[in-house]
Every structure is written in C-alpha cells, then in structure tokens.
C-alpha cells in the first residue's frame, strides 16, 4: 500500500498493530476520523494516553482499577474468604453481571500457555499462593475457560495450594440454560450426567 | 457494561465510536493495549493526534497530502488534461496500483446521498466545475462506485459541466477478469453485452 501522506501512513500502520485490524480496516477507520470533528480523534488519543499512563491494578486482586485497592476488594459487604480465580477483567465483569457471587476475585492476567510462551511466572499466581498460605482464604473457585490452557492453569494452581487444606471448586460444566440436548456436544453432555445435581437444588435458582 | 476503572471506561467509549467497533471489541482492543509495552499505545495516540492536526488536502485534487500540492498533481510527467473523478483516497490508491492511469485525480470526498444528508455542497464539486470551466481539462473520467449514489453523483456533475464541451467517460462495467459467466448478475452481464468492445482491443491488455 502506497500512501500520499506520511502522517496518514503512520496512523494506519499504528492502527493495524491492533489485533484483528488489518491495513484496509485501519485505513477505513482513519479516513472515518478525518471526516469527523477534530475533537473526536483528539479525545480518543487522549483517552488512550491517559489510560496507559495512569491505569492501576488492584494490589490485592490485580483487577484494573483507578485506586490502589479496587472497589470489590474494599467493599466490606463481600466475603473475603471465598476467592474466584479468573483470567481477566472481562470475566470479572461477566460474573458481576450475574449478581450471584459475593466473594472476591483474583485476576491471573492470562492462562498458562506454553504455545504462546506464557508460563506460570507471567501470571499473578505467586500472590494468590501467598494469599492462600496466610490462611485468609477458605474456598477457591476456579472460573477459567474450559480449554486445555484453562485446565492446565487450574491444575497448576491446585498443585501449588493443595497442602494448605482449603476447599477448591470449579464452576459447573453442563448444558447451557435454554439449550436443546440433541445439539449439545458429547463431552459436555457426558459431564453433565456424571456431575448431576439434586433436582431440588436445580429449582432454587 | 460496568467498569471498575473510569480511565478504562473512557478509553472503551471513545474506541467504540469508530465504525464497526462495538463495546466488546473496544474492550478487547483496549485490554490488548494494556498487555503491550506502553510505547505502543503512546505511539498510536501520537500518530492519530499528529495526523488530525497536521494532515492537509491537496489544493488542486483534494487528495490527502503532507504538502499543499500533492505528489501526483505536482508530477510533470502526468497528463493534466485527463482528470479522473473518485470518491476518496482509497480509490486513488486502488487506481494508482493498476499503473494504467497517467492523468490527474479529483477527490470528491464522498457521494451525493440524500439518505445520509450529503448534498452536492458537502463535496468538492465546485472546484471541479471551476477547473473544467477554465478549459484546463479535456477529458473527465467518472470512476465512482456503481451504486445509486455513485450514478446520481456522476449525473449531477455531468449536468454541471456538459456545456463546456469536454469529453466525459465512465469506467467500463462488465464481467470481472477471472469470473465465470454463470455466476455473474444479470445487470452486469447485460451491460457487458451492450457495451461490448472490439476483440482486438481486449487482447492488448
């Protein structure tokens, strides 16, 4: 791609560094910005700069936060003894939306994935082990994706903390609410039979 | 969507103003930025700011340029008497890539589209009419999209300049090179039969 302007070219090249955005999409976005009022592009640029310079991570759960201890961790109404281990802030937002969890979170910042060069030391695992070793946690809920990497990470953490004698659980895997059985994959269906629950507890929710 | 950080929220909101980028995609992009080195986000923000502040439009053809008269308009080897009318810089880049056009361009900056509130006065049409009225142009090639809006724009410009006695042409519509006839739509196929060309001229390219 040859550009008639170096400024345009640089903007397109920087935009196309983002995941899922190629040169053509980047050019379309940048041309859109040129058609909009100047303030809009300046606003975007400033928001990105401010965020990158000033964003903090909660010192306890590693969630993104504007203050040293995030709103969830500093909320006295939440149960500090139950900690839900998640991959990133999107999972925190998803679980918070359900309003069904009143404990705290621990954000790992990713999953162990040797293929992508991510090992246990690239994630916030040590601070979790320290937290557990101090006896502050009674139950750890693993809420990672149900993939090879998620299972590996669960198992690694489980091995590290199994001697501290706390309860560990993992979110239930089964048929999605509203799904028809005939379209469910066999592994999910198999697991949902093995891990069946008392009918009385299923009608409470 | 509830965010744990105002900085993050503002960045996501600004990103999701871009066309084709919703809140979820914006969040994914912004979280990606937070995982990358700080310099990358700052570089993107600066490139956008610089572009928006300093980008110029060529005073003759209205193409995006870093200087007052763009490289194409200031190139003495190009034929000033043939002007190709296009919608935006992407079309200039596409035609330049074919290396089959040695004239100049005129970038309208859009198409007449009453549905989107874009009239002739929102486009660079007056300067084109002035250019033609001065007798600088011998042939005008319409190279807009083959849509209702493109055809309307072509016709509007044609009406404005038809009394100046210059040649007007439009790029050929027909079956794409490499396409199979049975899959071509009937309008395109019909036009390509009506506008058939001598076989000798088809084997030159």
pLDDT tens profile B61-76: 999 988 889 989 999 9
Structure tokens at B116: 């989107």
Binned at pLDDT 50, 70 and 90, residue A204 comes out as low
DSSP string of chain A?
---S-HHHHHHHHHHTTSTT--HHHHHHHHHHHHHS-HHHHHHHHHHHHHHHHH-EE-TTT--EESSSS-TTTT-TTSEEEEEEEESSHHHHHHHHHHT---EEEEE-SS--BGGGTB-GGGTTTHHHHHHHHTT--SEEEE---SSHHHHHHHHHHHHHHGGG--EEEEPPP-PPTT--GGGS-HHHHHHHHHT---HHHHT--
Tell me if A1 sits within 8 A of A11, measured CB to CB.
no
Evaluate whether residue A198 is within a structural domain.
no
Across A87-93, average pLDDT: 90
**Among the partner residues B32, B48, B65, nearest to A45 by beta-carbon distance:** B48
Evaluate whether residue B14 is within a structural domain.
yes
In this structure, are B164 and B79 located in the same domain?
Answer: yes
Domain with B34 in it: 6-54
**What is the model's pLDDT at position A177?**
81
In this structure, are B87 and B127 located in the same domain?
Answer: yes
**What is the model's pLDDT at position A201?**
73
In this structure, are B86 and B166 located in the same domain?
Answer: yes
pLDDT < 70 regions, chain B: 204-205
Q: Which of A198, A174, A177, A172 is nearest to A185 (CA)?
A: A174
- List A residues 19-78 in contact with B (Cβ-Cβ < 8 A): 19-21, 25, 27-35, 38, 40-56, 63-66, 70-72
Indicate which CATH number applies to the domain containing A74: 3.40.1360.10
The tens digit of pLDDT for each residue in A39-77 reads 999 999 999 999 999 888 999 999 998 888 998 999 999
Q: Do A33 and B42 touch (CB under 8 A)?
A: no
Q: How many whole angstroms separate alpha carbon B34 and alpha carbon B56?
A: 32
Q: What angle separates helix B126-133 from helix B148-161, to the nearest 10 degrees?
A: 40
In this structure, are B128 and B154 located in the same domain?
Answer: yes
Pairing mode, strands A139-142 and A79-86: parallel
Mean pLDDT taken over chain A: 89
Whether A22 has a pLDDT exceeding 60, the answer reads: yes
Q: How far is B134 from chain A (nearest CA, A)?
A: 27
**What is the model's pLDDT at position B40?**
93
Evaluate whether residue A185 is within a structural domain.
no
Evaluate whether residue A140 is within a structural domain.
yes
3-state DSSP assignment of residue B141: strand
Tell me if A113 sits within 8 A of A148, measured CB to CB.
no
In this structure, are B40 and B76 located in the same domain?
Answer: no
**Among the partner residues B4, B51, B53, nearest to A8 by beta-carbon distance:** B51
Which residues from chain A sit within 8 angstroms of residue B15, using beta carbons?
Answer: 44, 47-48
At A117, phi and psi to the nearest 5? 75, 25
- Name which of B9, B41, B107 to mutate to probe chain A: the one with the most chain A Cβ atoms within 10 A of its Cβ: B41
Q: Which residue of B has its CA nearest to A58?
A: B4
Which residues from chain A sit within 8 angstroms of residue B122, using beta carbons?
Answer: none
First-to-last alpha carbon distance for chain A, in angstroms, is 56
Residue with tokens 């041309």: A31
In this structure, are B92 and B163 located in the same domain?
Answer: yes
In this structure, are B118 and B164 located in the same domain?
Answer: yes
Q: How many whole angstroms separate alpha carbon B92 and alpha carbon A4?
A: 9
Query: How many A/B residue pairs have CB atoms within 8 Å?
Result: 176
The tens digit of pLDDT for each residue in A4-17 reads 889 999 999 999 99
Evaluate whether residue A192 is within a structural domain.
no
Across A174-187, average pLDDT: 83
Q: Do A11 and B47 touch (CB under 8 A)?
A: yes
Binned at pLDDT 50, 70 and 90, residue A178 comes out as confident
Indicate which CATH number applies to the domain containing B45: 1.10.8.420
In this structure, are B76 and B161 located in the same domain?
Answer: yes
3-state DSSP assignment of residue B140: strand
Q: Do A55 and B29 touch (CB under 8 A)?
A: no
3-state DSSP assignment of residue B63: coil
Residue with tokens 């557990």: A132
Evaluate whether residue B143 is within a structural domain.
yes
Whether A205 has a pLDDT exceeding 60, the answer reads: no
At B177, phi and psi to the nearest 5? -65, 130
In this structure, are A81 and A46 located in the same domain?
Answer: no
Q: How many whole angstroms separate alpha carbon B118 and alpha carbon B27?
A: 32
Evaluate whether residue A83 is within a structural domain.
yes
Q: How many whole angstroms separate alpha carbon B184 and alpha carbon A171?
A: 52
**Among the partner residues A4, A42, A63, nearest to B49 by beta-carbon distance:** A42
Q: How many whole angstroms separate alpha carbon B112 and alpha carbon B89?
A: 17
**What is the model's pLDDT at position B174?**
84
Which residues from chain B sit within 8 angstroms of residue A27, using beta carbons?
Answer: 90
Q: How many whole angstroms separate alpha carbon B54 and alpha carbon A34?
A: 11
Q: How far is B196 from chain A (nearest CA, A)?
A: 33
Number of domains observed in the structure of chain A: 2
**What is the model's pLDDT at position B197?**
79
* Structure ipTM: 0.80
Give the whole-number percent of chain A exceeding pLDDT 70.
99
Check CB contact of A11 with chain B, cutoff 8 Å.
Answer: yes
- List A residues 109-128 in contact with B (Cβ-Cβ < 8 A): none
In this structure, are B100 and B154 located in the same domain?
Answer: yes
Q: Do B18 and A29 touch (CB under 8 A)?
A: yes
In this structure, are B160 and B127 located in the same domain?
Answer: yes
Give the whole-number percent of chain A exceeding pLDDT 90.
60
**What is the model's pLDDT at position A27?**
92
Q: What residues have CB less than 8 Å from A175, skipping those under 6 apart?
A: A181, A184, A188, A189, A192
Whether A154 has a pLDDT exceeding 80, the answer reads: yes
Across A33-37, A158-162, B178-182, least confident range: B178-182
Evaluate whether residue A64 is within a structural domain.
no
Binned at pLDDT 50, 70 and 90, residue A133 comes out as very high
How far apart, in Å, are the Cα atoms of A72 and each of A100, A104, A187, B4, B156? 14, 7, 35, 9, 61
Structure tokens at B128: 């084109």
At B138, phi and psi to the nearest 5? -100, -35
In this structure, are A49 and A79 located in the same domain?
Answer: no
At B83, phi and psi to the nearest 5? -120, 130
């Amino acid at each position: 791609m040859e550009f008639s302007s170096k400024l345009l070219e640089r903007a397109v090249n920087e935009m196309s560094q983002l995941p899922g955005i190629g040169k053509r999409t980047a050019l379309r976005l940048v041309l859109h910005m040129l058609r909009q009022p100047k303030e809009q592009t300046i606003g975007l640029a400033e928001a990105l700069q401010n965020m990158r310079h000033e964003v903090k991570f909660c010192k306890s759960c590693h969630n993104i936060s504007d203050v040293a201890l995030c709103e969830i961790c500093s909320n006295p109404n939440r149960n500090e003894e139950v900690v839900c281990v998640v991959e990133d802030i999107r999972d925190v937002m998803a679980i918070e939306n359900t309003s069904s969890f009143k404990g705290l979170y621990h954000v790992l910042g990713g999953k162990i994935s040797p293929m992508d060069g991510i090992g246990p030391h690239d994630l916030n695992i040590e601070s979790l082990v320290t937290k557990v070793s101090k006896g502050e946690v009674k139950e750890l809920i693993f809420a990672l994706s149900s993939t090879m990497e998620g299972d590996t990470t669960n198992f690694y953490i489980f091995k590290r903390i199994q001697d501290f004698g706390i309860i560990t659980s993992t979110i239930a895997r089964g048929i999605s609410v509203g799904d028809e059985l005939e379209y469910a994959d066999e592994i999910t269906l198999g697991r949902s039979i093995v891990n069946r629950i008392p009918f009385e507890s299923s009608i409470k929710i």
